[in-house]
Amino acid sequence: ETGVTQSPTHLIKTRGQQVTLRCSSQSGHNTVSWYQQALGQGPQFIFQYYREEENGRGNFPPRFSGLQFPNYSSELNVNALELDDSALYLCASSLTGDGMRYTFGSGTRLTVV
Amino acid sequence: AQRVTQPEKLLSVFKGAPVELKCNYSYSGSPELFWYVQYSRQRLQLLLRHISRESIKGFTADLNKGETSFHLKKPFAQEEDSAMYYCALSPTGNQFYFGTGTSLTVIP
């Protein structure tokens, strides 16, 4: 059984650029959620995807967007990067109906300069 | 609005001593509450869920709706319990609201 893998592990971007982060869900999981964790803070919910449709969204602007593919892998896209977007981005997969047993990835550390 | 408060950023206890990590929440409905743990250089992982009423690695947590608390307790702390602990609330089943975390250090 494979876990959740995220790529890349680290990334440096310039303000105004666009970035795509990738997540491969745990085998058998059909739901993926993305979280942003700023330094010293707990993870904050960005959005969730289930069967390739957005299934809930947190308080993030539209420049944060996502995709889920038929194999349940997922992407997080952020446009017009701002310095405050610097954070650890976590992907978590789960199986709907499994009591919210999330499996988290190790995260992508994004630095915006 | 939903909110999870963990008042202690840092907590140190001696090995063998009892430990309690505090968590208070703000939510008008019946929440589902969780504790997540992150050991050094490992990913965030589920420790326990209140709906399961389980004890994992000797930890328990009781939901107190009157005090809106979900404190995590262990009677005898072990060195391997040193980690970052996050309390989380889920009102809808599709997202978590996390607290800011408590870093627990168990002193040998």
**Residue B32 is nearest to which of A90, A100, A104, comparing CB atoms?**
A100
Return d(Cα B65, Cα B89) in angstroms, integer. 13
Residue A56: list chain B partners with CB under 8 A: 92, 94-95
pLDDT (0 to 100) of residue B62: 87
pLDDT (0 to 100) of residue A97: 63
| Mean pLDDT within B85-102 | 90
pLDDT tens digits, residue range A43-75? 999 999 988 999 889 999 999 999 999 988 999
Q: pLDDT at residue A76 above 60?
A: yes
- Nearest-Cα distance to chain B for A11, in Å, is 18
| Mean pLDDT within B24-28 | 91
Residue B88: list chain A partners with CB under 8 A: 42
Return d(Cα B52, Cα B9) in angstroms, integer. 27
Q: How confident is the model at residue B50 (pLDDT cuts 50, 70, 90)?
A: confident
Q: Which has the closest alpha carbon to B15: B97, B77, B60?
A: B77
Q: pLDDT at residue A102 above 70?
A: yes
Q: How confident is the model at residue A5 (pLDDT cuts 50, 70, 90)?
A: very high
Q: How confident is the model at residue A99 (pLDDT cuts 50, 70, 90)?
A: low
Average pLDDT of chain A, as a whole number:
92
pLDDT (0 to 100) of residue A62: 96
Q: How confident is the model at residue A98 (pLDDT cuts 50, 70, 90)?
A: low
A33 and B95: CB-CB below 8 Å?
yes
